[in-house]
Amino acid sequence: MSSPASTPGGRKRGRNTNPPTRKFPTCSNLLGQDSSTGDLMPMPTSPATDVLSPAAPQDTSLLSSPRPSVPPNEVDMSSPLMYGTPMRGTPARQRPDLGSVRKAPQVDLHSEPPSTDGAVASESNAGQRLVIWGTDVNVGTCKEKFQRFLQRFVDPTSTEDENAGLDLNEPLYMQKLEEISVVGDPVMNVNCRHVQSFDADLYRQLICYPQEVIPTFDMAVNELFFERFPDSFLEYQIQVRPYNALKTKSMRSLNPEDIDQLITISGMVIRTSQLIPEMQEAFFQCQVCAYSTRVEVDRGRIAEPAVCRHCNTTHSLALIHNRSVFSDKQMIKIQESPEDMPAGQTPHTTIVYAHNDLVDKVQPGDRVNITGIYRAVPMRVNPRQSNVKSVYKTHIDAIHFRKTDEKRLHGLDEEAEQKLFTEDRVQTLKELAAKPDVYERLSSALAPSIYEHEDIKKGILLQLFGGTRKDFSQTGRGNFRAEVNILLCGDPGTSKSQLLQYVYNLVPRGQYTSGKGSSAVGLTAYVMKDPETRQLVLQTGALVLSDNGICCIDEFDKMSDNTRSVLHEVMEQQTLSIAKAGIICQLNARTAVLAAANPVESQWNPKKTTIENIQLPHTLLSRFDLIFLMLDPQDEAYDRRLAHHLVSLYYQTEEQMEEEFLDMAVLKDYIAYARTYINPRLSEEASQALIEAYVDMRKIGSGRGMVSAYPRQLESLIRLAEAHAKVRFSEKVETIDVEEAKRLHREALKQSATDPRTGFVDISILTTGMSATARKRKEEVAQALKKLIQAKGKTPAMKYQQLLDDLRGQSETAITKELFDEALRALADEDYLTVTGKTVRLLA
Amino acid sequence: MPSTHDWINDPFGVVEGMFAASQSDPNSGWEARAVEFFKDRLKEKDAHTLVPSLNDIPMHYLKPNSLVKFRCFIQDMFDPEFYMGVYETVDPATQAKTLRCGKYKDVTECGVDFNSKNTVTAERQTFYCVPIPGENPWVKERYANSSQARVVPSTSYVPSRQKRSYEEDDDMDDMDTQPQKQREAHAGPQSPTEHHGNGDCKRQETEAPSSQTTSASHLDLNFPLPGEKGPSCLVKVYKDWDSFKLNDMLEVYGILSVSPALSALADEKDASSSLVDPTECMETAEEQRVHCPPASLVPRLHMLYAKQLQHNNPLLPSAATSEDNSAFLASTLSEMPSVREELLAYLTHVLLGDALAAEYLILHLISNVYVRRDVLPLGKFTLNMSGCPTVASYTERLYQIIQQLVPSSHYLGMSLQNMNQMRLVPKKDYVANRLVSGALQLAKNTSLYLDETQLEQGQLDTTGVRNVTALGNLISWQKVDYDFNYHQMEFPCNINVLIASEGRSLLPSDCQIHLQTQVAPSHLEEYLSTMHMLSQASSQLNKFRIYLSVARLLDYSISDEVTKSVEDDFVDMRKDDPQSISAEDLHRMLVVARLLSLSQGQTSLSRDSWLRAKHIEALRRSRMEQHKCVNGNEP
From chain B residues 285-314, the ones with a CB under 8 A of any chain A CB are: none
Residue B114 has pLDDT above 50, yes or no: yes
Spatial CA neighbour of B313 closest among B450, B456, B439, B409: B409
Task: Specify whether A298 is located in the same domain as A176.
Answer: no
C-beta atoms of B115 and A386 within 8 A: no
- Mean pLDDT calculated for residue range B288-296: 75
In a domain, A509, yes or no: no
> Is-contact A141 A127, C-beta < 8 A?
no
Query: Mean pLDDT lowest for which of A113-122, A184-193, B384-393, B516-525?
Result: A113-122
In what order do the strands lie in the sheet containing B488-492?
B434-436, B427-429, B479-483, B488-492
Task: Specify whether A382 is located in the same domain as A272.
Answer: yes
Which residues lie closer than 8 Å to B537 by C-beta, 6 or more apart?
none
Range B322-538: architecture per CATH: 3-Layer(aba) Sandwich (3.40)
pLDDT of residue A772: 61
In a domain, A600, yes or no: no
Query: Which positions in chain B touch A5 (Cβ < 8 Å)?
Result: none
Strands A106-108 and A525-529: unpaired
- Mean pLDDT calculated for residue range B66-71: 88
Residue A69 has pLDDT above 50, yes or no: no
pLDDT of residue A702: 59
Give the residue extent of every domain in chain B. 4-196+217-271+290-308, 322-538, 555-635
C-beta atoms of A338 and B82 within 8 A: no
pLDDT tens string B531-545: 665 555 678 888 888
pLDDT tens string A547-598: 777 888 888 777 777 777 777 777 777 777 777 666 677 777 778 888 888 7
Interface test with B, best of A650, A658, A661 (most B CBs within 10 A): A650
In a domain, A119, yes or no: no
pLDDT tens string A19-39: 333 333 333 333 333 333 333
pLDDT of residue A259: 83
User: Given A403, A426, A441, which residue is the final one in a domain?
Assistant: A403
Higher pLDDT, B523 or A39: B523
Q: How confident is the model at residue A49 (pLDDT cuts 50, 70, 90)?
A: very low
Query: Which positions in chain A touch B246 (Cβ < 8 Å)?
Result: 344-346
C-beta atoms of A505 and B557 within 8 A: no
Residue A517 has pLDDT above 80, yes or no: no
Dist. CA A813–CA A365, nearest whole Å:
64
Q: Is the Cβ of B110 closer than 8 Å to some Cβ of chain A?
A: yes
Q: How confident is the model at residue B497 (pLDDT cuts 50, 70, 90)?
A: very high
Residue A475 has pLDDT above 80, yes or no: no
pLDDT tens string A157-169: 665 555 556 666 7
Task: Specify whether A808 is located in the same domain as A837.
Answer: yes
pLDDT tens string B139-160: 888 888 877 766 554 444 444 4
In a domain, A315, yes or no: yes
Task: Specify whether A212 is located in the same domain as A343.
Answer: no
Q: How confident is the model at residue B318 (pLDDT cuts 50, 70, 90)?
A: low
- Mean pLDDT calculated for residue range A468-486: 70
pLDDT tens string A790-801: 777 767 777 777
Q: How confident is the model at residue B498 (pLDDT cuts 50, 70, 90)?
A: very high
Spatial CA neighbour of B347 closest among B541, B483, B93: B541
Q: What is the CATH number of the domain that holds A272?
A: 2.40.50.140
CA distance, residue A632 to nearest chain B CA (Å) = 8
* Most confident listed range (A345-354, B174-183, B519-528): A345-354
Q: Residue B257: which H helix or E strand, with range?
A: strand B249-257
- Mean pLDDT calculated for residue range B511-516: 87
CA distance, residue B169 to nearest chain A CA (Å) = 38
Query: Which positions in chain A touch B264 (Cβ < 8 Å)?
Result: 382, 385
Residue type, B404: Q
Find the CB nearest B375 among A492, A505, A653: A505
Higher pLDDT, A563 or A348: A348
Give the residue numbers spanning the domain of A219: 139-243
Dist. CA B419–CA B463, nearest whole Å:
7
Residue A122 has pLDDT above 50, yes or no: no
Q: How confident is the model at residue A139 (pLDDT cuts 50, 70, 90)?
A: confident
Residue A463 has pLDDT above 80, yes or no: yes
pLDDT of residue A100: 46
Strands A470-472 and A478-480: antiparallel
C-beta atoms of A517 and B121 within 8 A: no
Task: Specify whether A143 is located in the same domain as A277.
Answer: no
Task: Specify whether A388 is located in the same domain as A279.
Answer: yes
Task: Specify whether A179 is located in the same domain as A302.
Answer: no
User: Given A385, A403, A421, which residue is the final one in a domain?
Assistant: A403
Query: How many angstroms separate the most distant Cα atoms in chain A?
Result: 128
Q: What is the CATH number of the domain that holds A803?
A: 1.10.10.10
From chain B residues 574-593, the ones with a CB under 8 A of any chain A CB are: 574-575, 578, 582-584, 586-587, 590-591
Mean pLDDT (chain A) is 70
pLDDT tens string B554-576: 878 778 788 888 888 888 887 77
Higher pLDDT, A308 or A410: A308
Tell me the CA end-to-end span of chain A in Å, nearest whole number. Answer: 94
Query: Which positions in chain A touch B584 (Cβ < 8 Å)?
Result: 493
Higher pLDDT, A115 or B297: B297
pLDDT tens string A362-405: 877 778 888 888 888 776 555 555 556 677 888 888 888 887 65
Q: How many domains does chain A have?
A: 3
Burial class (CB in 10 A: 0-12, 13-18, 19+), A406: middle
C-beta atoms of B485 and A270 within 8 A: yes
DSSP letter string, B382-434: -EEEE----GGGHHHHHHHHHHHHSSBEEEEE--HHHHHH---S-EEETTTTE
In chain A, count of helices (H) and strands (E)?
29, 29
Helices in B228-381 by DSSP H: which ranges? 260-271, 278-282, 285-291, 322-350, 355-365
- What is the percent of chain A where pLDDT is above 70? 63
**Could you tell me if the ipTM is greater than 0.85?**
no
Task: Specify whether A237 is located in the same domain as A287.
Answer: no
In a domain, A803, yes or no: yes
DSSP letter string, A554-590: ESGGGS-HHHHHHHHHHHHH-EEEEEETTEEEEEE--
- What is the percent of chain B where pLDDT is above 70? 77
Residue A242 has pLDDT above 80, yes or no: yes
Task: Specify whether A227 is located in the same domain as A355.
Answer: no
Task: Specify whether A276 is located in the same domain as A399.
Answer: yes
pLDDT of residue B264: 55
Minimal Cα distance from B603: which residue of A? A651
pLDDT of residue A29: 37
Query: Mean pLDDT lowest for which of A88-92, A418-422, B594-598, B625-629?
Result: A418-422
In a domain, A350, yes or no: yes
Other Cβ atoms less than 10 A from the Cβ of A274: the count is: 8
In a domain, A826, yes or no: yes
Dist. CA B545–CA B138, nearest whole Å:
10
pLDDT of residue B19: 82
Task: Specify whether A282 is located in the same domain as A346.
Answer: yes
C-beta atoms of B567 and A59 within 8 A: no
Query: Which positions in chain B touch A505 (Cβ < 8 Å)?
Result: 374-375
pLDDT of residue A75: 36
Dist. CA A270–CA A276, nearest whole Å:
18
Query: Mean pLDDT lowest for which of A451-460, B4-13, B73-82, B205-214?
Result: B205-214
Task: Specify whether A197 is located in the same domain as A319.
Answer: no
Residue B168 has pLDDT above 50, yes or no: no
C-beta atoms of B274 and A2 within 8 A: yes
CA distance, residue A491 to nearest chain B CA (Å) = 10
Query: Mean pLDDT lowest for which of A304-308, A772-776, B268-272, B613-617?
Result: B268-272
CA distance, residue B26 to nearest chain A CA (Å) = 15
Collapsing DSSP states into helix, strand and coil, what is residue A481?
coil
User: Given A217, A243, A269, which residue is the final one in a domain?
Assistant: A243
- What is the percent of chain A where pLDDT is above 90? 0
CA distance, residue A142 to nearest chain B CA (Å) = 27
Query: Mean pLDDT lowest for which of A570-574, B76-80, B410-414?
Result: A570-574
Q: pTM of the full predicted structure?
A: 0.71
Query: Which positions in chain A touch B603 (Cβ < 8 Å)?
Result: none
Higher pLDDT, B566 or B183: B566
From chain B residues 490-529, the ones with a CB under 8 A of any chain A CB are: 491-492
pLDDT tens string A660-683: 555 677 777 788 778 777 788 888
| Residues paired with residue A537 on neighbouring β-strands, in sequence order | A528
CA distance, residue A505 to nearest chain B CA (Å) = 8
Mean pLDDT (chain B) is 76
